[in-house]
Structure 1
Amino acid sequence: MPASTTCPIVTWRSSRNGCTSLTPSEVLALVSDPAAESGESGESRRARQAGGRPRQRIANRLHAGVLALVLLSTAAAQAAEIKVAVSANFAAPLRKIGVDFEKESGHRIVASVGSTGMFYAQIKAGAPFDALLAADDETPARLEKEGAGVAGSRFTYAIGKLVLWSRTPGFVDDRGEVLRTKAFSHLALADPRLAPYGAASLQVLKALGLLETLQPRFVTAANNTQAYQFVASGNAELGFLALSQVYQDGRITEGSGWIVPQEFYSPLRQDAVLLARARGKPAAEALLKYLRGDKARAIIRSYGYGL
């Protein structure tokens, strides 16, 4: 005698071969009409229904439970993971924006933080990113032109600002005159070949007539995050950083800094672009739309960016 098979109620049914899965529509049909599976006649069904109130109540409860499961499954299917390549200067704002976006949309942001130049090379090599939040406007435009970015999706999400920063309070004056002194041995900056903020740092030093004098003191970082780490750890007394890294709600949060006047470097227009692999992907499109909204823009301003 074959062993009996016990199948979980609702999602499975017995058959000669064991348990067979049901589609949501099949399950809903069965709990709405328990006789449908058995082929019971209409007359027999009416006789059963006359005294079958308890069974009907059970069926109603099953119907409600299955409907809830179907709705939950649909919601889970609609939620998606968004892989974002984000310039190091914008990591903290994106993290804060992401909390509200994920709560409101159900989608999840998976961010990779680095330099814009590095991300360009990775995207061209086939890295599976859905969107790029760059530290410049040239890289997204280039990706769009080369077909790696979706035409018409590019927009400026922030205008960056540069700061000369030290972890030591009072060390940096409000005009950056410390650069003309011998009070420091190391000056950190992001790699100018890969990071727009690093290139802007060179423009500032050239405008001040200090580039050749200070070049021997450079400590070159892979990106803005590493430049900050060099200064915060004391390995460099000073560093050129993105203002957003040390600024919150209208003030520099620690140490001392000189917010470099815009006249000394080209505007740091930071563009976002939807990448080709995410074409037609609603979740990625929703994130870029959210970045243009009032909530996100308020957060962006709070980190010292222009808009």
Structure 2
Amino acid sequence: MKKLIVLVLAACSFAAAAAGEVQVAVAANFTVPAQRIAAAFERETGHKAVLAFGSTGRFYAQVKNGAPFDVLLAADDETPAKLEKEGLTVPGSRFTYANGRLVLWSATPGLVDTQGAILRKPGDGKIAIADPRLAPYGAAAVETMARLGLADQLKPRLVQAENIGQAYQFASTGNAPLGFVALSQVMVDGKLEKGSAWVVPENLHARIRQDAVLLAKGKDNAAAAAWLAYLKGDAARAVIRAYGYEL
């Protein structure tokens, strides 16, 4: 009996030793899906994903300055490619984990029509957008307004947030009646969670292709490799689709 207990304890100790930790920089639009995926990842692999959320532009600067991230889940494909060219990633590790969709959203039901015509109506209500210099969804919002010929008309109404998470916060609290946010922030299991929204047609802005990449710091981290492999699997992909992303 004692021998059996010793063997069980040894097995548990080995499993604990084998489990690792991965530091993941996550674009703010992917916050909730990443949290769900991380919980399942830990249950199934024993590895723990420690998530940090923010704008892709700020993460780029932090990685350049030596931030201790193993993996970057960006809101675009340009930033991971740039880091790759600068020798700050593991070559060949970059891939697209999701294609994002931009929406004009309001916490008020019925305020936003399905064609986005509210943008052309006179008014002075504020419109929240993420900083287009740092956040790809903010850049897509600016491009959308320009394509619609409304850039000058709407410019005085814009409230700029640091990232897409803060833009959603402005709109959800009513500080801005409207907000250009990520579809993933307002959709749960394929349905609009609350409020009203216009899903912006993709021909109004550049495609929001979101790439993941293994950073140089994570080269020898087994948990980092396991996280990226899990992100490509069926379970993670089902979660990603549930929040309105395309694969």
Question: Shorter chain as normaliser: what TM range?
Answer: over 0.9
Deviations 1:30-85 (A, max 9, x none): xxxxxxxxxxxxxxxxxxxxxxxxxxxxxxx3322222222211111111111100
Q: Unaligned 5+ residue runs, structure 2?
A: none
Identity of aligned residues (%): 58
Task: Tell me, yes or no, if structure 1 residue 187 matches structure 2 residue 159.
Answer: no
TM-fit CA distance, 1:251: 1.9
Q: 1:156 aligns with which of 80, 85, 96?
A: 96
Q: Distance in 1 between matches of 2:10 and 2:114?
A: 61
Q: Kindly indicate whether residue 199 of structure 2 is the aligned counterpart of residue 259 of structure 1.
A: yes
In 1, distance between residues paired with 2:219 and 2:84?
12
- 1:132 is paired with a residue of what secondary structure? strand
Report which structure shows greater RCO (CA 8 Å, sep ≥6). Answer: 2
Determine which of 82, 104, 116 is the counterpart of 2:22.
82
Moved segments of 4+, more than 3 Å: none
Which residues of 2 match residues 56-75 of structure 1 at below 5 A?
Answer: 61-75=1-15
In the aligned structure 2, how far is the partner of 1:168 from the partner of 1:183? Answer: 16
* 1:169 maps to which of 109, 113, 123: 109
Q: Secondary structure at the match of 2:69?
A: coil
Distance 1:222 1:113 in 2: 12
**Aligned 8 A contact 2:98 2:240 in 1:** yes
* Contact preservation (8 Å) 2:25, 2:69: yes
Q: TM-score, normalised by structure 2?
A: 0.98
Following the alignment from structure 1 to structure 2, what is the Cα–Cα distance between the partners of residues 66 and 184? 71
Q: Aligned to 1:156, what secondary structure does the other structure show?
A: strand
Q: 1:249 — aligned with what?
A: 189
User: CA contact under 8 A between 1:82 and 1:108: conserved in structure 2?
Assistant: yes
1:128-165 CA-partner distances (Å, limit 9, x unpaired):
00100000001001111111111000000000000000
Native 8 Å contact 1:190 1:224 kept in 2:
yes
> 2:33, 2:66 → 1: CA distance?
26
Shift of 1:243: 0.4
Q: Size of the alignment, in residue pairs? A: 247
User: Is 1:217 aligned to residue 157 of structure 2?
Assistant: yes
1:64-118 CA distance string (max 9 Å, x none): 2222222211111111111100000001111111121110000111100000000
Counterpart mapping for 1:232-247 below 5 A = 232-247=172-187
Say whether the 8 Å CA contact 1:184–1:237 is kept in structure 2. Answer: no
2:76 paired residue number? 136
What CA distance in whole angstroms lies between the structure 1 residues aligned with 2:124 and 2:155? 13
Q: Which residue is equivalent to 2:218? A: 278
Bigger CA radius of gyration: 1
What is the one-letter code of the residue matched to 1:181?
K
Q: Is the 8 A contact 1:132 1:272 kept in 2?
A: yes
Query: What is the deviation of 1:260?
Result: 0.3
1:178 maps onto 2:118 in alignment? yes
- In the alignment, the residues of structure 2 paired with residue 119 and residue 138 of structure 1 have an alpha-carbon distance, to the nearest angstrom, of 13
Report the TM-score, using the length of structure 1 for normalisation. Answer: 0.79
Q: Which amino acid in the other structure matches residue 139 of structure 2?
A: A
Partner residue, 1:9: none
Separation in 2, partners of 1:301, 1:76: 32
Equivalents in 2 of 1:124, 1:300: separation in Å?
A: 28
Report deviation, 1:281. Answer: 1.3
Q: 1:227 to 1:90 in 2, by over 3 A?
A: same
Q: How does 1:69-148 map to 2 (within 5 A)?
A: 69-148=9-88
Per-residue CA shift, 1:251-287, capped at 9, x if unaligned? 2110000000011000000000001011021111011
